[in-house]
Each structure stands twice: as C-alpha cells, then as structure tokens.
Amino acid sequence: MSTPRLVRNPLPRHLHPVAWWLWAIGLAVACSRTTNPLLLLLAVSVASLVVAARRGSSPWARAFRLYLVLGASIIVLRVLLHLLVGFKFGQVRLYSLPSVNLPGITILGPVYLEGVLAAAVEGLRLASLIVCIGAANALANPKRLLRALPSALHEIGTAVVISVTVAPQLAESVQRVRRARVLRGEGGTGLRSVGRVALPVLQDTLDRSLLLASAMDSRGYGRRPAQSARTRHLTGALTLTGLLGAAVGTYGALDATAPAVVGLPMLLAGLALCAAGLRVGGRAVARTAYRPDPWGLPEWLVAGSGVAAAALVMVSAHADPAALTLPLEPLAPPGLPLLAVAGLLLGALPAVAAPEPPRRGARP
C-alpha cells in the first residue's frame, strides 16, 4: 500500500511591487494605442479580474473601486463637455438644442451620434488608463516599492514614505480622540465637535512627528556622505539627460504620428542614461534593506505579461491601424483584431501566476 505524499501549497507572499507596476504600465500603453471600445473594455476587465484575484487586505487594496467610479465619471463628464462645447460632426442627428454662438465657440447646438460616440470613446480610453494605474496602486505595497528604489534616491524615498504614512496616522489619531471622548461621556458630532477634536489631534500628530524625527536621527537618516564635485556634476548630467530622453521617447511611443527614431530607441537610451546616473550617484551611499523582496519566476511572468500585452497591441496597430480604431465616418461596428485580443488576454496571467498575498489574521 503506497503512502500518499503531502502536497504543500506555496506560502502566501507579497509579489515584488516593481513587477506589478511593469504589468500595469504595459496594460496602460496598450490602452493608449487604441480607440476600439471592445479592446478598452477588455483591458478594464482584465485589470479588474487581476485585482479581484490577487489583492490583499491592506487599506490601499480596497480603493480600487474608487478608480472605477472615477473612470465612469470621466466618461460621463467627457460626453457632457461634448454636448456643451464640443465640436459637432456626423450625419446621424439625434436631436437639436438651442445654440449660442460666441467668438470661436458654439454652446449646445445639434447633437450627432458620431460625435457622442467619439467623446465616449476618448473618455473610455482615459478611464482605462486610470483603471490600470489604480490596479497597480491596489496590488503593490507603496512602502515596499519605495524600499526597492536605488540607493541614490534613498532621501526622496524616505520623504515619500513619511508623506504616505501621514494620512493613515492622522485618521488613526482622529478615531482615538473620538473614542476617548465617547468613553468620557462627551457627545456631539458634526461641526460642533471639530474644534474639540482638532486640538488633541494636532497635539498627537506633533508628538508623533517629534518621535519619528528623533528615531530617524538616531538611525543616521539625513546624513549625506562626502562626494566630489565631479561625481555630483556627472550624476546630475546623466540623470537630467536621461529623463529628457525618456520623456521624449515616451511621447514618441504613445504618438503614432511621431518618427520611429523618437519612440522606442529614444526611450531606451534615456532609461540607460538614467540607470547610469543612479549607479554613479549611489556608489557613495551605504544602505541596507531588511528582508528584501525576492524576484523569482512569478515576478518575471507578471512583468512579462504586461510587456507582452503592450508589444502585441503595438504590433497589431502597425499591421492594421484601422482595426484598433472606432470607424466613425462612415459609422460602422468596431473590429476585433485577434492579435491585440490575445495580448490583452495574456495580461490576465497574473490572476493565476502571481502568489496569493498574505491576509491579516490568516495563519499558514
């Protein structure tokens, strides 16, 4: 009789935050290359599926629905702006509104189906970008992301960590003061209680700030090592030139009418210069990380799925540009390019490839 072997599931762990951001940026780049509503809705569905499957129990993980609401409100606002002051074009007239002609602009006027669809699709594209970035914010731990910054950016990372933790600490102080007032029998809510709550909260925030400042000073934060003027100038020149090149390359990659040299080659050259500047600037910084996040096969799969989604959509846009747009003149149903659909479906791989995040109160 054979003895059954015990199959162990992998322990829950946090995925590297850089992998989540690479995945989200890849989806965002794919959304920026198309105005096909079917592809945009598919990208939003993929991001929502991954967030529902792999988000944790942290406060920022529960804020993804706010990005969905923000995206929906952007679509509605874009359509309302088109109805109010937008350029009216098309052949299928829906209805006519009384128009007011002003110098260079016409308020209200006739409404055409083509114009409304164009406004809705533009709003949907912007909403899909916001949903992709919101998915990265919901899945990646911001503190772990800042801990993964290069050594040359440790000062900026420290300041951002402090600013990120201010809002939760302030909310905790407000709840603690209100709880203490209720235990003392002091009621009152609304504007009347603001003055009584604000002063204890301000005092508690000041005490926490002083404790944080003394703790950071005792650990050596804020002390910069000595660097030569040549190293500082070289670091600044490499970083500034790299940022300019990356900005121009990003614009060229997102703009379909830009020359090919301005796009991906400029972006890669700018990123290389930025990496060289950070490498030179971080040599004199001695920094250690307690239990650094591992980068294994799940990280490669998650980051690679986002990059593959962006690459397949860009290849589809180069092969058949008309398939990635909504035909308006004449009005026709949008196409469904299989290569772009396959790329976006590949972006759903983190729903099964990423490890299960640890839950609060859960025991392995």
Q: What is the DSSP string of 53-81?
A: HH--SSGGGGGHHHHHHHHHHHHHHHHHH
Hey, how many other C-beta atoms are within 10 angstroms of the C-beta on 99? 12
So what's the pLDDT on residue 100?
A: 75
pLDDT digits (tens, 9 = 90+) for 292-327: 777 888 889 999 999 999 999 988 888 888 888 888
Output 106 or 200, whichever has higher pLDDT: 200
* Residue 51 backbone phi and psi in degrees, to 5: -65, -40
> What is the share, in percent, of the chain residues with pLDDT greater than 70?
76
pLDDT digits (tens, 9 = 90+) for 330-356: 878 888 888 889 999 999 999 888 888
So what's the pLDDT on residue 234?
A: 79
So what's the pLDDT on residue 160?
A: 63
Tell me: pLDDT of 59 over 70: no
Hey, how many other C-beta atoms are within 10 angstroms of the C-beta on 33? 21
Q: Closest by alpha carbon to 344, among 36, 62, 134?
A: 36
pTM > 0.85: yes or no: no
Here the tokens at position 30 are 């794919």
So what's the pLDDT on residue 83?
A: 83
What does DSSP say about strands 100-102 and 110-112: parallel, antiparallel, or unpaired? Answer: unpaired
Place of tokens 């993964």: 148
Output 336 or 86, whichever has higher pLDDT: 336
pLDDT digits (tens, 9 = 90+) for 226-247: 667 777 777 778 878 888 888 8
- Residue 5 per-residue DSSP state: P
The helix (run of H) or strand (run of E) holding residue 94 is strand 93-96
Looking at every residue in the chain, the average pLDDT score rounds to 78
Here the tokens at position 4 are 């059954």
Tell me: pLDDT of 44 over 90: yes
pLDDT digits (tens, 9 = 90+) for 8-37: 445 677 788 888 989 999 999 999 888 889
